[in-house]
Structure 1
Amino acid sequence: MYTYLMLTMRTEKFNQEHVAGHYEFLDRLQAEKRLKMFGPFSDATGGAYVIEADSLEEAAEIGHADPLVASGSSELTIKEWKLKK
């Protein structure tokens, strides 16, 4: 498994109605033990979450299933994160 930083930045099309679905999406990832941490940015421009996935392609598939991303409310940037402990 690899660790990925998922950055979601609000777009001009941001719609608050998709936020509840976004948190349900994160709850599912947490139940699957993929989600390691998450949270919004203090300036309300978006947020980030950290997941584990087998590949960048799998991380992208997961990230594009996020209702905020799928609806166009947020843009997704994915970075493989080589965390140091």
Structure 2
Amino acid sequence: MNRYLVMVMRLPQFDTGQIGPHREFLDGLRAQSRLELAGGFADKSGGAYVLRAADLEEARVLAFGDPLHLTGSSRVDVYEWKAA
């Protein structure tokens, strides 16, 4: 499996009610051994997490299931990450 960096940036219409569902989503990924690391940015502009997936398409499918993406609260971008 490869690593993918998921950047989640808040949009002007950010819904704080989606924070709980987002955390539950991450817990689900963690339970599947898909999530390596996650955290928010200190300035509250968003956050990032590292996924394990077979390929970029699978990583996008996983990340785009994030409630923050589904509700339009945040912009979600997925990058293949070659961690050193």
Q: TM-score higher than 0.5 here?
A: yes
Deviation of the 1:7 alpha carbon: 0.2
Partner of 2:72: 72
Partner of 2:27: 27
**Aligned positions, number:** 84
Deviation of the 1:50 alpha carbon: 0.2
What is the aligned-residue RMSD (CA, Å)?
0.5
Q: How far apart, in 2, do the equivalents of 1:6 and 1:16 lie?
A: 19
- How do 1:4-83 and structure 2 match up within 5 A? 4-83=4-83
Secondary structure at the counterpart of residue 3 of structure 1: strand
Consecutive aligned runs of 4 or more in structure 1 exceeding 4 Å deviation: none
Q: How far apart, in 1, do the equivalents of 2:49 and 2:62 lie?
A: 12
TM-score normalized with structure 2 length: 0.98
Return 5+ residue gaps in structure 2 as ranges: none
Return 5+ residue gaps in structure 1 as ranges: none
Q: How far apart, in 1, do the equivalents of 2:80 and 2:13 lie?
A: 27
Percent identity over the alignment?
A: 44
